Amino acid sequence: MSEDLVRNRKAFHDYHVLDTWEAGIALVGTEVKSLRAGLGQLQDAYVDTANGELWLKQANISPYKFGTDANHDPLRARKLLLHKVEIAKLIGKVVRKGLTIIPLAIYLNDKGKIKVRIALAEGKAVGDKREALKQREQKREMDRIRKGARE
């Protein structure tokens, strides 16, 4: 059972998620403490490729409150740790099919290690977003009607 420290709540609203992976992340000590305190955001974060590596960019991990003057930069790029074969597969799909890689969550796994759940995703059009909202509202209304009929 994993405990989410940070979630990208708009990811499923803005993208069609096709596949997910679990990646390790290279962090410094004050970043770990900040994440455990719940001081992170993935709102504008994305995964970029450089030299055959994956990097988490624009993920905001606030400076640790009790850190020294050597605290970390909140928006620094952080290396994601995956096997070379997985990285090659992801980069190939991004280049060939025009997909993107987005972070879904930063969480603690069962062994207490901080991991990042990343996804291969395709952007949604504005009409798709509206349709998803409409379907969700219809489902809520049907659930309300069913609940009222049972009582």
Answer whether residue 101 is part of any domain. yes
pLDDT recorded at residue 83 = 93
Answer whether residue 94 is part of any domain. yes
Write the pLDDT tens digit of every residue in 74-116.
788 889 999 999 988 888 888 878 788 899 998 988 888 889 9
Answer whether residue 93 is part of any domain. yes
Q: d(Cα 3, Cα 23) in Å, to the nearest integer? A: 15
Average pLDDT value for the chain: 83
Higher-pLDDT residue of 103 and 132 is 103
Q: d(Cα 71, Cα 93) in Å, to the nearest integer? A: 36
Q: Specify which residues 133 forms β-bridges with.
A: none
- Domain of residue 111 covers 3-124
Answer whether residue 140 is part of any domain. no
Mean pLDDT of 30-37: 83
* The pTM of the whole model exceeds 0.85: no
Q: d(Cα 56, Cα 137) in Å, to the nearest integer? A: 34
Answer whether residue 130 is part of any domain. no
pLDDT recorded at residue 68 = 67
